[in-house]
């Protein structure tokens, strides 16, 4: 027999490892939203997103830009009177939407995350120019020119590397990662 999980239960499972109290204990006091510096740019405030999850409105939640507009500042987490961890919730929803491939196409975040991970699997270290193309998108051509200007400013000050830095033991590193996730998915 199979049981279909409600979306709020699925989200709860995602949060199992993160700790924090269950979302069902939320009293909708909006302390999280009031503490959130990114709230004006979110489709739904953190409080509202939690209400949507608790109402099992999966599609509405996944269509929201909220969890990709979170800066991971943890202000909400520190202030929630019920010990809920909205910041980890935002991470969990990002993972969920990447796994399920259900994120919105107009967002830069999912692609940025994947690129970043690919860079590190290749080098063991992060390399800013390697994932620059991901963030050139958003601003279109003027955005690209601005990025290039910024990059040139850094370059002139010797603050951008021309070749990526690599760890020495890349083979061992990749064997280790291979025991956590299948590497093929990222290559």
Partner 1 sequence: MTTYAYYPGCSLETMAASYHVSATEVARRLGIDLVEIEDWNCCGATAYSQVDELLAQVLCARNLALVEQSGRTDVVAPCSACFKNLSFANLHMQDDGDLLEHMNYALDADGLAYSGSVRVHHLMGMLVDEVGIDAIRARVTKPQEGLRVAVYYGCQLVRPHRPGQGMQDVEDPRFFEDLMEAIGADVVPFPHRLRCCGGSLIVTSRKAALAMLHELLRSAGESGADLIVTACPLCQVNLELYQAEVNREFGAEFKMPVVYFTQLMGLALGASPKQVGIGSEIVKAGSVLACRGAATP
Comparison of 9 and 149: residue with beta carbon closer to partner 1: 149
Find the shortest distance in angstroms from Cβ 171 to ligand SF4: 37
Considering only 1-9, 21-29, 49-57, 178-186, which stretch makes contact with partner 1 by CB under 8 A? 178-186
Part in contact with ligand SF4 (CB under 6 A); list of ranges 72-80, 117-125, 133-141, 173-181:
72-80
Minimal distance in Å, beta carbon 97 to partner 1?
A: 10
Contact pattern for partner 1 over residues 84 through 123, marking x by CB under 8 A? ---x---x--xx--x--------xxx--xxx-xx--x---
What are the structure tokens assigned to 14, written together?
């995602």
| Cβ-count burial 160-177 (b if 16+ within 10 Å, e if not) | beeeeeeeeeeeebeeeb
Provide the minimum distance between the beta carbon of 13 and ligand SF4 in the complex, in angstroms, as a whole number. Answer: 18
Candidate residues 15, 53, 61, 90; the one interacting with ligand SF4 per rule CB under 6 A: 90
Contact between 47 and 34 under an 8 Å Cβ cutoff? The reply is no
């Amino acid at each position: 027999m199979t049981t279909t999980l409600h979306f709020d239960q699925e989200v709860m499972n995602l949060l199992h490892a993160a700790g924090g109290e269950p979302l069902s204990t939320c009293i909708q006091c909006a302390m999280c939203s009031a503490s959130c510096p990114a709230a004006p740019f979110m489709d739904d405030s953190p409080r509202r997103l939690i209400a949507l999850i608790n109402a099992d409105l999966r599609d509405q939640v996944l269509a929201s830009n909220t969890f990709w507009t979170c800066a991971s500042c943890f202000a909400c987490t520190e202030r929630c009177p019920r010990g809920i961890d909205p910041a980890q919730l935002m991470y969990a929803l990002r993972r969920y939407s990447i796994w399920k491939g259900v994120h919105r196409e107009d967002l830069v975040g999912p692609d940025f995350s994947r690129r970043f991970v690919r860079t590190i699997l290749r080098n063991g270290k992060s390399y800013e120019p390697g994932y620059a193309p991901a963030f050139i998108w958003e601003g279109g051509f003027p955005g690209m020119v601005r990025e290039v200007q910024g990059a040139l400013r850094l370059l002139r000050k010797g603050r951008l590397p021309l070749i990526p830095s690599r760890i020495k033991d890349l083979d061992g590193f990749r064997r280790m990662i291979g025991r956590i996730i299948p590497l093929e998915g990222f290559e």
